Amino acid sequence: MGLYTWDQYCEGIKVVPSGNDIKFIKTSPSPYSHESLRKYLDVVYNYASTISLAKELKRANEFAAGTIVIYPGSPSHCFIIIDQATDSNGKKVFKLAEGYFPAQSIYVLSNLIEPDISPWYHLQKSIITTSSYKFIDYELESFE
């Protein structure tokens, strides 16, 4: 799909299915409102995948709030780090959120591996096991 911005949506550029592809058409502008934002996000969530995310996101070097851990492909999976803190031993811990494709409600992950610190996770650049997926090969990405 390529880059499709909120500004383009509000300027009246809309996505229309065309066979197995899409095309962009010019329609009347949409207001910068919460309702319009929800409709724009419906379009983005409808077409976004781990493959498109991996192509569009910026490479990250470390775990931090806002970092996306992603295994692109089919099958694929990803989660986003939504918070970070320091535990009682001085180690960083992270709170994770995920959803499924097609886009569904995003939720915070429980930590079934270390339930005493749930919903927080200790993360290291090795295999990551969450309550729903085992990440062996993955990329660290972030939004700009």
Could you tell me if 106 and 129 lie in one domain? yes
Q: How many C-alpha atoms does 10 have within 13 Å on its Cβ side?
A: 11
Quote the number of domains for the chain. Answer: 2
- Total length of the chain: 144
Tell me, yes or no, whether 1 lies in a domain.
no
Confidence of residue 2 (pLDDT cuts 50, 70, 90): low
If one counts every other C-beta atom within 10 angstroms of the C-beta of residue 1, the result is 15
Tell me, yes or no, whether 88 lies in a domain.
yes
pLDDT tens figures, 82-130: 999 999 999 999 999 998 765 667 899 999 999 999 999 999 999 999 9
Above 90 in pLDDT, residue 27?
yes
Could you tell me if 131 and 60 lie in one domain? yes
Terminus-to-terminus CA distance in the chain, angstroms?
19
Could you tell me if 62 and 115 lie in one domain? yes
Q: Of 137, 2, 142, which is closest to residue 77 (Cα–Cα)?
A: 137
Domain that holds residue 43: 6-47
Residue at 132: amino acid letter: S
Could you tell me if 76 and 132 lie in one domain? yes
Q: How far is CA 8 from CA 23, 60, 99, 124, in A?
A: 14, 27, 26, 39
Q: Percentage of the chain surpassing pLDDT 90?
A: 68
Could you tell me if 42 and 62 lie in one domain? no
- Cα separation of 101 and 124, whole Å? 26
Could you tell me if 42 and 15 lie in one domain? yes
